[in-house]
Structure 1
Amino acid sequence: MKTRQPVGWVYLLVAYFTSCSAFYLPGLAPVSFCETASEDCQSQIELFVNRLDSVESVLPYEYDMFDFCKDVHEKRPSENLGQVLFGERIESSPYKFNFKEEVKCKKVCTKSYKAADKDDVAKLDFLKMGMQLNYQHHWIIDNMPVTWCYEVEEGQRYCNPGFPIGCLVTSEGKAKDACVINSDFNKRNTFYVFNHVDIKINYHSGDSESWHGARLVAATLEPKSFSHADENNLNCETGEPKEVPVDAKQDVSIVYTYSVRFEEDVHIKWASRWDYILVSMPHTNIQWFSIMNSLVIVLFLSGMVAMIMLRTLHKDIARYNQVDQGDLVKLTPNKEKSFLPYEDAQEESGWKQVHGDVFRPPRKGMLLSVFLGQGTQIFIMTFITLFLACLGFLSPANRGALMTCAVVLWVLLGTPAGYVSARLYKTFGGEKWKTNVLLTALLCPGIVFADFFLMNLILWVEGSSAAIPFGTLVAILAMWFGISVPLTFIGAYFGFKKPAIEQPVRTNQIPRQIPEQSFFTKPIPGIVMGGILPFGCIFIQLFFILNSIWSHQMYYMFGFLFLVFLILLITCSEATILLCYFHLCAEDYHWWWRSFLTSGFTAVYLFIYAVHYFFSKLQIIGAASTILYFGYTMIMVLIFFLFTGTIGFFACFWFVNKIYSVVKVD
């Protein structure tokens, strides 16, 4: 029996790792397809359609708004909270294929618009608006975007996870957007509808693998335009494009068709099937340049802080603590003791002279403690969300998971917010604990919700698919008041129950007069300068984030983002510590609010960059889209302000406690 026991453990380990190999992240399990359906293999491939969006408008619209071909038995897959908040509206389509069954020029439906019918005219005008603003289809096959791949400059291949519904040639003869791909699109003042798609589906066969059937690894298409004069004799190879005049006054009929073919690809694995989309976005070199640029800033700031901590402060503290009976003991280079008057030592460093006022409670301590509580909640939420994204749990394939995770974490992290706010408020000497808890739970979330609600009203008036349903708004309010607010009260209870944070030095009863400050040590110039370096570390990453939000590009570089997040933490902390030390040396002891605002001012630079991005990079037109852009930007700025301000405050709080805790003050 003794000789067989290790073998038994080996079998257990093999069984364990075998079971682990079958584990997939939620929503990412592969689906097998066969020519004949079975229990573990499907034969029919369904194509789902998502909302349509445009880089020229913030307003997305549902597929049905454009009067395209509809599924007879329409169904909508269940959507998570993140998908609803992002405005995704996924539904089934009439495009259905059988695995390995090729189709050529199959008719889907015919849409007719009569010039005498007001409803038809309105539908056609809406379709024209979509083509004029370059609205894009977003189709999904097997939870994978159907991409439109085409050649760009220098022979580079670009794959776009959307394709246009049509394009416009202006009255001046200028081909806009996708009209440049076809020389036949040359008639002025004319719309060209992409009413045909050639779909190619690549699959990886399981014949040489450990699984049955085949798995889809790529889905691409090519949009085309054909007039289809004879519906009984369709030709999807050659023919005149489908034209819709801008000022069309006659009846219009549009025939929608498609072709599909299958192609085996043994080189692409199912686990890496998104790579062909991501490879066409070669931003890696730019990302590494950004990281190296940020690291140089971090090394510079770290050197400055180290110089202060190891040389200036170490020297000051060592000499200051050797004061004995009014004299200062100093070691000469010959290691002999010499004595300097204590008054001379006091004049050497101004930070020592304000030890009796440095922990004096700040003005508006209630508001500062509320901001810090909310900032702590946002910081923990952001850290956990980015960490899970780096592990692959929140990949683009798992739709809506990123937003869902962030919202759920924010709701569940009410306890740290209440605890930090209450503990600091008690340290500041505050006694209105009920007001403190209510403001922590309601102030900043209330501002965000009010902004969000106003933006949602605009979306609802415009008929956009991004408008949040009333039931979802009620659910969000229920999570806020039913979970987050009670958890905030629980955290505040434990925060007030504990004693106030003990200060290393006593505070004088009479405030010390602050001497005249130079320009660079005054509050406003110091705060303005404090946000420059942290923003310099993130602005390149910020460009890609704004592209993913407003230009509908896919964001997947969460490893880079997490690294930049850590660099931002270090930069905000070190920049705030440096400026805090300079202000204390200038005998200005008002560091509480200044430490928060110094790093928090990075959010102002974020807003300025967002304004620059709007006018230089985007092509957004319309008052509603402009209001929506800046409305959502203000939410981002507020969250970023609380996040960075909290980082700077706690870094400075640690620094001040550290230097004054080793100073012996009578």
Structure 2
Amino acid sequence: MASRLLRLSLIGNALISLVSGFYIPGYSIKNYEDEEAIPLYVNKVYSDNTQLQYAYYDLPFVCPPTYTKHGGVKSGQGVPLNLGEVLRGDRIYTSDYELAMNKDKECSFLCTRTIDRLDVKRARQLIDENYVVEWIVDNLPGATSFVTVDRSNKYYAAGFKFGSIELSSVTGKPRYLINNHVTLVIRWRKAAGSAGEHGKKVIVGFEVYTKSIGSEDRNDMGCPRDTRAPASGFDLHIPPNNTRLVQKYQGSSYIPEEDDIDDGAKLNIPFSYSVYFREDNRVEWANRWDMYFKNQEGSSKIHWLAIANSVVIAAVLTGVVLMIVARTLHGDGKLQTSDGVKSRRKAGSSGSRTPRIGEKSSSGLFEQLETEDLAATSDEELIEEISGWKLLHADVFRTPQYAGLLAPLVGCGCQIVFVATGLLTLSSLGVLNPSFRGGFGSVGMGLFVFAGMFSGYFSGRLYKTFNGKNWRRNTLMTAMLIPGLLFSTTFTLNLLVWAQGSSTALPFGTLVGLAALWLLIQVPLVFAGSFVGYHRSQAWEHPTRTSSIARQIPARLWYTKSVVPVLAAGFVPFAVIFIELLFIFRSIWQDKSGFYYVYGFLSVVSLVHILTVVEVTIVAMYIFLCSENWRWWWQSFLVGASPSVWVFLYCTWFYMTKLDLQGFTSGFLFFAYSMLACGMYGLLTGTVGFLTAYAFVRRIYR
């Protein structure tokens, strides 16, 4: 008892340390000397109200790069991106903003950008849709700082506003103000060890404060006269040229909208910036990302609630499963020994025979059913004692319909299981973290390609178990079905996003690279795994033989033939994860920075969730087999995959109640990507359900 308590205590401590989570904030620390140049990178603009992102330098109303060198780095030069960064829409370029360690700048003029009415209309649209800008310094995104009401806590929100809207006190109409002056605050502290003793510093914070300053509030150099004083703001408005307008539309009843007037008028926008360096010894370099997570600390209680909810549900199901296992393995699975069943053979007859080759000399349940020397009366008594699932021993392992489709689906499901396990493990250990920009997508793609071996192996071996003959066709379907669906869907959606000019659209070279990864690397790995699984491995042996004539399935009750029981079974695993889903969806669809970091909580909830899928599948298959229906193969897969239906319904609820997406394209992308993700999730849980049911059925018929 003491040893058991000790083991439980160790497991509990391990779980607590796991869910607390940690992250590796970077792989190398950059130390700066005084007045050493610090590059500022511009990335993209994004919004919570749309799924379309745009590269910063693609916008026609920002200062374009001058392609001059600043501290040895040429502006406008693209930064090499990993696959994950490209997939998330990053387009990172060096800028003309000049920063030097510990060297303040009261004001520096950047440029004057001349735009027309079409550009003004575009800028207003981005402001109206709440777009924010992402800049990067020392791998930290520029942040807008917030302070709690009691001023006891400060936290960051990645990005800063592109502009703002206010009502005019004169006309009462909305004024669109562009933030054409930024104040950059770089927080630093002394480097650790000998580097700090030599005066080197590290950056622990990057804050951006925006302001809209009109031309009348600037001096001849283009800088604000006083960056701290209130300003009238720079209005994105071009007054119409009435003289030219009358000449162009003279005698016409058509009066165009102001933004659509083609009168050649221009608007000059001055841009400037200030830079301040401030020492901050309260933040360690290893903890500098904590400021981006502080606004999520209050949700830790909800995460613990999610864990408690999942554990309670799993505990109840565990009790039900243990009862079923005890009944099948120790009760129903044994013959009664009363009323003359101990001795079934006629007195004085040759009551036994020599076992044939491959047969077991056993008095188990199904061996007794196959014994040829049982008396007719004893057979009737024996059959009376056997009912429900025990009657299916000669049909339960019969090859299912569409086995050529089931095997590739299970193989691809094993591939998804491997990828999900790897990503959760690496994220919980801190290898994948926000400072590893694009790491989640890059590592996930690498794991998916490598896991092609597992996909081919399990598909090939299961296909052999189903007595399949054309293993090449099975392998080709395994290699092409799910990866082909993913690639074709991504390609189609990419065309839609490309038509909108968004940076989320994958470049042609990236699409070619993805196709090469799929066709030149993963497909050969699938064939290698399938060859080992089909030719070098034995088919899984079944504990009972299959009869030549299939047993007639009795009239099925509603709870075994309707889709309602399958969905009801899927609701239980969904109830385990629905609380944590809210945080995941917020991170993906609302917080485009993607700063989801509580992978420790997610790992625990995921483990309990998979355990729940296993237990629900066992309960569902026991009820299904007790109805004397031996076609359980596809049923187990569907029961396991059914939580994905509830997750998709949850996506719909989240879209209708939590999101404020504008435009058809954003809504279409949301549902398309949600359906694709739910499909992959259903493939994962469906495979878990199938493998669970297969192991359960093999065990009870042993």
In the TM superposition, 1:206-225 aligns within 5 A as 206=191, 211=196, 212=198, 213-225=200-212
Partners of 1:51 and 1:62 within 8 A in 2: yes
| Residues 95 and 524 of structure 1: CA distance in aligned 2, closer, same or farther (over 3 Å) | same
CA contact (8 A) 1:168 1:189 kept: yes
AA aligned to 1:629 is: F
CA displacement 1:496-552 (0-9 Å, x = unmatched): 213321110011222222223332233523211121111111222222222222111
SS in 2 for 1:515: coil
Rounded Cα–Cα distance in structure 2 between residues aligned with 1:166 and 1:410: 41
CA contact (8 A) 2:124 2:236 kept: no
**Residues 238-275 of structure 1: CA distance to partner in whole angstroms, max 9, x if unpaired?**
24332425675364332222222122122211111101
In structure 1, the partner of 2:48 is 55
Q: Is 1:469 aligned to 2:507, yes or no?
A: yes
Q: Where in structure 2 are the equivalents of 1:10-159 lying within 5 Å?
A: 28-35=27-34, 43-66=36-59, 67-73=61-67, 74-113=76-115, 120-151=116-147, 157-159=154-156
How many equivalent pairs are there? 605
TM, length-normalised to structure 1: 0.86
Aligned AA (2:98): K
Q: TM-score, normalised by structure 2?
A: 0.82
Amino acid of the residue matched to residue 688 of structure 2? Answer: I
After superposition, the Cα gap between the structure-2 partners of 1:98 and 1:660, relative to the gap in structure 1 and judged at 3 Å, is same
User: Equivalences for 1:198-597 in 2 at 5 Å?
Assistant: 198-206=183-191, 211=196, 212=198, 213-229=200-216, 230-232=218-220, 234=224, 235-244=226-235, 248-249=239-240, 251-282=266-297, 283-319=299-335, 324-326=342-344, 343=381, 346-347=384-385, 349-497=387-535, 498-551=537-590, 552=592, 553-597=594-638
Please give the secondary structure, in 1, of the residue aligned with 2:95. strand
Return closer, same or farther for 1:185/1:48 CA change in 2, 3 Å cut-off.
farther
Greater shift, 130-139 or 145-154, is seen at 145-154
Within 2, Cα distance between the matches of 1:376 and 1:367? 15
Contact 1:165 1:194 in 2 (8 A): yes
SS at match of 2:611: helix
Alignment correspondent of 2:251:
none
Q: 1:227 to 1:326 in 2, by over 3 A?
A: farther
* CA 126–304 in structure 1, closer or farther in 2 if over 3 Å, else same: same
- Name 2:177's counterpart in structure 1: 192
Instruction: Tell me, yes or no, if the aligned pair for 2:25 and 2:435 is still in contact at 8 Å.
Output: no
Q: Which amino acid aligns with 1:313?
A: L
Distance in structure 2 (CA, Å) of the matches to 1:158 and 1:210: 29
Q: Does 1:615 align with 2:694?
A: no
Separation in 1, partners of 2:559, 2:382: 25
* 8 Å Cα contact 1:147-1:163 kept in structure 2: yes
Measure how far apart 1:612 and its partner are. Answer: 1.4
Q: CA deviation digits over 1:206-248, x for unaligned, max 9?
A: 3776655111111112222221413426221224332425675
| Matching residue's letter, 1:254 | I
Judged with a 3 Å threshold, the aligned counterparts in structure 2 of structure 1 residues 312 and 434 are, in CA distance, closer, same or farther, namely closer
Name the SS of the counterpart of 1:576 in structure 2. helix
Residues 65, 96 of structure 2: 8 Å contact kept: yes
* Structure 2 unaligned blocks of 5 or more: 1-22, 68-75, 241-264, 346-362, 365-377
Residue number in structure 1 paired with 2:4: none
- Aligned mates of 2:337, 2:689 — CA distance in 1: 28
- Does the CA contact (< 8 Å) of 2:53 and 2:504 recur in 1? yes
Q: CA deviation at 1:150?
A: 2.1
Counterparts in 2 of 1:100 and 1:412: CA distance versus 1, 3 Å = same
Describe the SS at the equivalent of 2:177. strand
Task: Give per-residue Cα distances to partners, 1:597-644, cap 9 Å, x unaligned.
Answer: 001011111111111111211111112212222221222122111111
Partner of 1:10: none
Paired letter, 2:31 = S
RMSD: 2.6
Superposed CA offset, 1:551-592 (max 9, x none)? 115211111122222112111111101100111112122110
Work out whether residues 117 and 238 of structure 2, in 8 Å CA contact, stay in contact via their aligned partners in 1: no
Read off the aligned partner of 1:68 and give its amino acid letter: V
Unaligned runs of at least 5 residues, structure 1 = 1-23, 37-42, 114-119, 174-183, 330-339, 662-666
- The counterpart of 2:158, out of the listed 156, 161, 178, is 161
Alpha-carbon contact 2:185-2:275 (below 8 Å) kept: yes
* Counterpart secondary structure, 2:53: strand
Counterpart of 2:682? 641
- Higher relative contact order, chain-length normalized (CA < 8 Å, sep 6+): 2
SS in 2 for 1:448: helix
Instruction: State the 1:192 CA deviation.
Output: 1.4
Q: How has the CA–CA distance of structure 1 residues 347 and 207 changed in structure 2, closer, same or farther, with 3 Å as cutoff?
A: closer
Q: How far has the Cα of 1:312 moved from its partner?
A: 4.7
Cα separation, partners in 2 of 1:419 and 1:47, compared to 1, 3 Å: same
Asked whether the equivalents of residues 423 and 496 of structure 1 are also in contact (C-alpha less than 8 Å), the reply is yes
Alignment-derived partner of residue 336 in structure 1: none
User: One-letter code of the match for 2:658?
Assistant: K
Call closer, same or farther: CA 1:422–1:188 in 2, change over 3 Å.
same
AA in 2 matched with 1:593 = W
Displacement of 1:188 in angstroms is 2.6
Q: Is the 8 A contact 1:53 1:136 kept in 2?
A: yes
| Deviation (angstroms), 1:56 | 1.2
The structure with the larger Rg is: 2
Q: Distance in 2 between matches of 1:214 and 1:89?
A: 28
**CA distance 1:307–1:193, shift in 2 (3 Å):** same
Alpha carbons of 1:25 and 1:149: their partners in 2 closer, same or farther (altered >3 Å)?
closer
Which residue of the partner structure matches residue 333 of structure 1? none
Structure-2 separation of matches of 1:624 and 1:99: 43
Q: Check conservation: 2:155, 2:291, Cα contact below 8 A.
A: no
Rounded to whole Å, the distance in 2 between the matches of 1:263 and 1:461 is 44
For residues 185 and 475 of structure 1, what CA distance do their matches in structure 2 show?
A: 56
How far apart, CA to CA, are the structure 2 residues paired with 1:188 and 1:558?
47
1:343 shift after superposition: 3.8
Write the distance in 1 (CA, Å) between the matches of 2:125 and 2:232.
19
Identity %: 35
